[in-house]
């Protein structure tokens, strides 16, 4: 059903592309499409080392991220936990293949 004429159009929120992606604002079910799109944009910009912040929590999000990273051909390798100054157990460094 099309939206009513007086209903506001949802605002598109663009996130800046940089060497860090904080997943706290995303739903776990979105990472399957989010990460490949983010990595593609990073590679186009020559950003080949990125930090994914998934938080410590229960580890569910981290496990989902790591399972996806293992399957993506653009991922050369990843390092978890990140060093103490980069988020330790709550973050993962990802090294991407160049284009």
Full pLDDT tens readout for the chain, 99 residues:
555 667 777 666 666 799 999 999 888 899 999 999 999 999 999 999 999 999 999 999 999 999 999 999 999 999 999 999 999 999 999 999 999
The two structure tokens encoding residue 67: 């399972």
The two structure tokens encoding residue 17: 């592309």
Domain that holds residue 73: 20-96
Looking up residue 46, the CATH number of its domain turns out to be: 3.30.1370.110
How do strand 20-22 and strand 75-79 relate by DSSP bridges? unpaired
Query: Are residues 79 and 69 in contact, defined by beta-carbon separation less than 8 angstroms?
Result: no
Residue 1 within any structural domain of the chain: no
Give the DSSP letter of residue 19: S
3-class secondary-structure state, position 65: helix
Residue 12 within any structural domain of the chain: no
Measure Cα distances from 42 to 1, 49, 71, 75 in Å: 36, 9, 18, 12
- Domain total of the chain: 1
């Amino acid at each position: 059903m099309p939206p009513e004429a007086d209903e506001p159009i949802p605002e598109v929120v663009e996130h800046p592309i940089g060497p860090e992606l904080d997943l706290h604002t995303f739903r776990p079910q979105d990472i399957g499409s989010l990460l490949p799109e983010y990595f593609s944009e990073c590679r186009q910009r020559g950003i080949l080392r990125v930090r994914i912040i998934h938080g410590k929590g229960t580890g569910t999000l981290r496990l989902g991220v790591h399972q996806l990273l293992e399957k993506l051909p653009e991922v050369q390798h990843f390092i978890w936990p990140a060093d103490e100054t980069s988020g330790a157990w709550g973050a993962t460094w990802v090294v991407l293949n160049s284009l």
